[in-house]
Structure 1
């Protein structure tokens, strides 16, 4: 891993309540629109399988993750009224994880420390 790699990836999975997928997807449109304006977001997309949804999201660094969560906080609260996060992973270099542990503690993520690889 390059010494200057600070990339952070969030990997949330949602289980959407029965009959609420259309409403959840409408909120996904809002998430995407709000996130599109974030300069620190590298990629962001939703995918679906039955009543489950996944958000594929990557950020320049921990500061960009925190800016994102602040930007979409109200939308996330609306989404959590009709869906639950069944799993949340955070993949990042150790120094970035340390910056995220306290702010993300309430979401109870599983932490994955990036140690090997490269970035283009």
Structure 2
């Protein structure tokens, strides 16, 4: 069974300052634990390539993404003392992007509007 797709994928890339990789990874553990409590988060994980980290994030809709942003604001603030965001994308249906443009403007993300595809419900 297919359902309307309101999924918002948040795609940040962080460049970690030299000598701070282990401190950043310690923050990652805290971010993952805190995000695990969010019912609107579909997936959340970090991957690394040297001193560049990518966070793979998916939320059921724009409101869930904004809830996440509030939930981890303090930890992200700590992370941004030892890393910088070098690329930020948001992939979502246009109606969800419209809900994010204002609240996310300070981060200057690149928005990608979903046009074709499908989303399965949890049922087989």
Q: How would you bin the TM-score normalised by the shorter chain?
A: over 0.9
Structure 2 length-normalised TM: 0.94
CA–CA distance in 2 between the matches of 1:14 and 1:101? 21
Structure 2: 5+ residue stretches without partners? none
> How large is the RMSD of aligned CA atoms in angstroms?
1.0
Structure 1 length-normalised TM: 0.97
Q: CA-to-partner distance for each residue in 1:7-60, whole Å, 9 max, x for gaps? A: 000000000000000000000001000000000000000000001000000000
CA–CA distance in 2 between the matches of 1:69 and 1:30? 14
* Structure 1 pair 6–48 and aligned structure 2 pair: CA distance change class (3 A): same
Does the alignment pair 1:89 with 2:89?
yes
Instruction: Please identify runs of 4+ aligned residues in structure 1 that moved more than 2 A.
Output: none
Structure 1: 5+ residue stretches without partners? none
Which secondary structure does the structure 1 equivalent of 2:72 belong to? helix
CA–CA distance in 2 between the matches of 1:104 and 1:26? 26
